[in-house]
Amino acid sequence: MLEKFYPDEYLDSAYDIDFKSWYDKGYRGVLFDIDNTLVRHGEPADERAEKLFENLRRIGMNYCLISNNQLPRVKPFADAVQAYYIENAHKPSKKNYLRACELMGTDSKTTLFVGDQLFTDIYGARRAGMTNILVKPIHPKEEIQIVLKRRLEKIVLYFYQKKRKPE
């Protein structure tokens, strides 16, 4: 039951991912959540985010931002990092994950998803058939509805990590 929310990988940060290695494995696109995945909630793209996307361009990896946030939040961030974007994505619906693949010229098997929430980001990526990486939230200050979901996520992550540990 809980397995449908389990990430394929769980890392400390989106900035810890070896995207060249994923490219070498045949992945050609990356979808990113923005808030608390790349920057603190509501903040603009910073130098670290800009360097990440420069590195992706250098590798040859396509990328798209997919956010449940609205256009005034998503477009300026996307413009700053020169990214395709989908705002108001209705995650975990798989529709816009697949639409993002179309924008990048990839498919669900050659696209990696990176996000910080299990019940929207990871569950949606799994529904779309994408390899996914859960990252720890950048900052603990979040909207109340997310704080409540984080409590449930802790339960799921407890069982995920228990299952992943060798006996």
Per-residue pLDDT of 122-161, as tens digits, reads 999 999 999 999 999 997 666 666 767 777 888 888 888 8
Q: Measured between alpha carbons, how far is 121 from 32 in angstroms, rounded to an integer?
A: 9
Instruction: Please state the length of the chain.
Output: 167
Which pTM was predicted? 0.90
Element (H, E) at 65: strand 62-66
Supply the pLDDT for residue 142. Answer: 62
The percentage of the chain sitting over the pLDDT mark of 90, rounded to a whole number, equals 79
Beta bridge partners of 66: 86
Supply the pLDDT for residue 141. Answer: 67
Nearest to 134 by CA among 122, 123, 148: 122
Q: Measured between alpha carbons, how far is 31 from 61 in angstroms, rounded to an integer?
A: 11
Q: Is 118's pLDDT higher than 60? A: yes
Nearest to 62 by CA among 125, 108, 104, 110: 104
Q: Measured between alpha carbons, how far is 134 from 118 in angstroms, rounded to an integer?
A: 7
